[in-house]
Structure formats: structure tokens, C-alpha cells
A and B are shown apart, each in its own frame.
Chain A
């Protein structure tokens, strides 16, 4: 890693307990120069395409076109598998080497994809994962990636998001990663989000057919320039400290602390996670000490690399003056506010989808009270507050599914540093809450 960060927004806490502080864990991948760029590990890519009835017409045509574009962008050492599914799962081709002949063959087979019936998402996803897992057997130095394109809500096979999450995590730990592209407004954000979040990838959104091509080719570019995969942040927590990750990443707990799974990092990019820590009481002058490390795999490698983070601390103070006047990292506080707001937006969108309108408005109002207080004196936060005030009003009523999907996408982009591959995309939250 080029840079890492492990720091608090403020360094003093109340000795009587209950202080809330925000810990940022940040990392930046180096940008290789043309000379220093290492040879990219061969990529085994499986495209899993939903061909259920709702994909008929323009979406399926765009998915076909995008798959052709992906085939054209792969190198001769790479392989491509394409799996299509409705209530039946068909492998169009498996492990096709992307030399000139392979690309020609892929192109001709892809033109024969037609739409069908229901949506067995898990069956298609697992079959796609199997095609790349097979190519991993007995070999070293290959990367295995599944990209799943779906516009629907699974109604066959494994439906429970929790179970999908578990299998995606297990495959990620075994070196098979999953990224999803949700098409249109009908896809299940829960099912696709857990597959990508636990599968070490991202959930992209393609609202219109032509965006499928933009998103898929954009994602291929990301895959070509991945610096680290399966990134894990481990934080050792002192006794009685309660930690919550803003945005709720997949995590595992141990007796020493918590580990968060972040997915991948592309060359030259930054990634941050923010932990909200509730602190216990303590003796003035004493400190809570925090240690952390980042572990990750380089593409094509099964070995995990580790970067130890410089230990940081929070000191107990007994003077309300020193607590109030303590120095604050304003840039970090702005990042905290941005992540916090994104988390509230995502939760509100989910509750609105569930029909819990009043509860969603209550939740936004409660968060807003704490949020406004945190933002005092931080430049750039007034817009975030205004947007939450607008959200509180709007979330009382049924927001369109498109609006909810875009709100979810807005949050994912801020919480996970997700790149937006769509050319025509609004970053204004107010545009989605029509």
C-alpha cells in the first residue's frame, strides 16, 4: 500500500464514559508507472446473465452486446465463460480462451441468447462460479471472477439473502469473487447486494439498457487494474469499547476485536472505512490504545500480505473545557459526516421499500439530531444536513423504486468508494427523491 491511515477525529474522551469517537482506517493503492506495472495475472471470468422473461428485448440485447465487448477486451491468456439462467441454467461456453478464434466463437454463440421464464439467481451464479473454480483447480496465479447481471428478484433456488451471503463469503475465501450488475428497477437489492458485498465485489446499477454496456466495460477496466483483493481490516479493541462500522460491512468478531471485509482496491485509488466507537469510563490521564492491520491478496496470489497500522489512542480527560476545546481533524470529520449521511439514506430507502414510512421518518429525525450536532463547525456539512431534512419529509411517502435504487446506489458509492461507470449519472440526492 502507498499510504495507510489509522486515526481518530478527536483524541480526548470523557472519563465518565459514553464518549463517541470515529476511527478512520484508510488505504491508498500505488499507481504503477508504465515501466513498473507488473504483468497482470490471467483472468478467468464468468458472466452470468439473467435471461428471464423480464429481460426480453433491449436489456438482453444490451447484455449480449456488453458480453461481446468484454470478450473483445480480454487478453489471450484470459478465459471467458458465459452462463445464462431463468428457471433453467445453461452454460453457453466454459473456459473459452480469449485468443482470436475463441473471441470469434464467443461472438457467434452470444448472438443466440433468448429470453425465457423465471429467475433462479443462485443456480446461475453457482454454475458461473463453478466454471471459474474448475479452472483454478491445481493451478496458481489465476484470478477467478464472476459478474452477475440480473434485473429481477430470485424466485427459484436459494432466496434468503443471509444464505447467499454465507456462500458468497465462502467462495471469496477460496479465491472466487463476485460482482453484480442490477438492471432496471426490478432487481432485488438485498440479494444482489449481499452477493457482491460478501463476494468481495461491488453492486453496480444499470438503469437503461445502454448503461449495461458502460457498466460492464467499466468493471472490466477495474478488474484489469486491481491492486488488492479480499482486503481485510482487523482492529484490536480495548475492553468495553463498542464498535460499529458505518455502512455495516461484512465482519467477523474474535476475542481480540473485529475484522471487516472490504473487497477490492484498484491501483491509484483510496478506500476508507469509518468505525463508530462508544467508549467506557476510565481514569483521567490514562488512555485506550488501538492497534490495527490491513491484510489483502494481490491478484492471482493465494498468499495474504499484511500491513501493520501505527497504533493510535484515546485519552481520558476530566475537564469539560479541554473536551470541548480539543483539536478536531476537520477533513476526517467531513468524511465521517459523508459516510454517516450515506448510511442514513440507505437505511431510509430500505425502510421505505418495506412500507415502514413513519418509522423511516422517525429514524431520519433521530439521526439528524445527532448528525447536526456532530457537523457543527465543519465546512461542507450544511448541504448534507439539508439533504437529510429533505429526506425526513420525503421518506414518509412511498418513493418510486427507481428513486430507492438510486438512493441505495448513492450510499454505496460513498460508503465503498464505488466508481460510477454510467456516463449520465446525477450525484445529487434530491434528484432521486421524486
Chain B
């Protein structure tokens, strides 16, 4: 039986245990990667889920750069138990965060160890060496492939970077939606991320939004209806 942890943490405790600064933690809440604090104000409290998610994000961050949407997708897909297992090192993050081939070289310099090793990050012995007037050459390895190889791989057939390639039904629908909403502007985004509303459009497509009130929820339902109708048409 799963027992919910009732342990509460302060922002300071989260900072010291995850090595994310308070601004970063608040930023993650704003971006919907973490639920909001249980209480507001100076003595705001956070729970085990916050700690697990932050440790998970730390592991993900150490592994390399990942688009925000991809991080959100991972957090939505994984159960709290798996997030916890990965966060605390019981499961390897490589099992869920597969990376595109062009990111392979990052593996060389990224470690899965969240906590720094004592011998490398304890205290540094101060030296009296002056600033070097003549720069030395750095030996960090350059990327394995050239800029041209990288771009061509990215622009290969099927990549979303290039228009006019084979579009998925979802992309076709997105384009249609834009066409029927002239003067399109990026939608406003609420800063709160306490919970997500999920509305199924088709068995394999779902609309998710966070921080919505009653009217907005109704609007989301009607968007889902319109979207469903659009998908059922033959493009």
C-alpha cells in the first residue's frame, strides 16, 4: 500500500537539498513544472512531491539540455513513484530521458550523480597566482560533427524545422485552427500551476491546461469540441 508522505519542507530546506536557488524553484512553479506551495508567505511549506520533482529535474538538468515542453511531457507521463525512484537514484534516468543522436557528445561531460563528489567540490585551496596576462589554450574537446552535418541532420525529411514536409494530422489541425482564428496572438499564460485540467479530444489526443477557472474550463471544452470536429474532417 502506498503511504503518502506528510513531511513538509521550507523553501530553504528545498534549496539546500536540491541545490536549486529559491528563484529557480519559484520559476519552476510559475512554469508549471512544480505544484504551488501548500501555503503562501514567508513561511510557505512544500511537500515530498516538491522535493522529488526538484531532485528529478536536477538529474534531468545534469544530463543535458531538454526543451521545456519535453520536461513537462516527462513529468506528466511518469507516475509519482517513478519520479521519486529516479530522483533518489533507485532508477537510472537514462531509462526515460532518451536523447536525440546529436546530443550524444553531452554524455561525456554530464554525470548522473546529483550530489557533487567530496573530492571535487569541497573546499578549494586558495592560491596566490595572478591573472595570466597571456591566455592559455583550453583543451575542452570540440563537438564531433561539423555545423553543416548538424544542420543537415536537423533539416532531414520529417524534421519539423522545415515546412512542406509530411505533416501529422495534429500539425494539419493546428494549421487549420490558426487559419480560422485570424489575428492570432500567443495565448496569455497564467503564472499559477497548481493543477492541470485534461480534456480528451480523441483516444490519442488530450488537451491539458493549468490554472483555469470555471469559464476558462468551459472554453477549453468548446475548443476540444471544435478540435474534434476539425480532426474528423478530411483535409
A residues sitting closer than 8 Å to B (CB atoms) are 1, 4, 18, 87-89, 120, 122-123, 126-127, 129-130, 133-134, 136-137, 144, 153, 155-158, 160-163, 165-167, 169-171, 173-176, 188, 236-240, 242-244, 252-257, 276, 278, 280, 287-291, 295, 302-311, 313, 351, 353-356, 359-360
Contacts and interface: CB of A to CB of B under 8 A. Distances in A.
Contacts of A170: 102, 143, 150
Given A309-B131, A353-B188, 18 more contacts: A126-B151, A130-B155, A155-B178, A161-B67, A161-B68, A162-B65, A165-B67, A166-B65, A166-B67, A237-B121, A239-B121, A242-B15, A276-B21, A287-B126, A306-B138, A310-B129, A311-B128, A311-B129
B181 to A, nearest CB: 11
Interface string B17-61: 001110110000010000000000000000000000000000001
3 closest cross-chain pairs (CB), A and B: A162-B67, A355-B188, A356-B191
B5 interface: no
A255 B117 contact: yes
B148 A137 contact: yes
A317 B70 CA distance: 45
Interface stretch (B77-85, B160-168, B200-208, B222-230): B160-168
B124 A133 contact: no
B214 interface: no
B6 interface: no
A173 B147 CA distance: 8
A136 B65 CA distance: 26
Main secondary structure of the interface of A (DSSP, over half): mixed
B224 to A, nearest CB: 21
Contacts of B148: 130, 133-134, 136-137
A381 B62 CA distance: 37
A239 B118 contact: yes
Interface in B150-198: 150-152, 154-155, 160-164, 178, 184-186, 188-192
B131 A307 contact: yes
A158 B161 contact: yes
Given A162-B66, A171-B150, A173-B143, A288 B123 contact: yes
B67 A160 contact: yes
Nearest to A307: B135
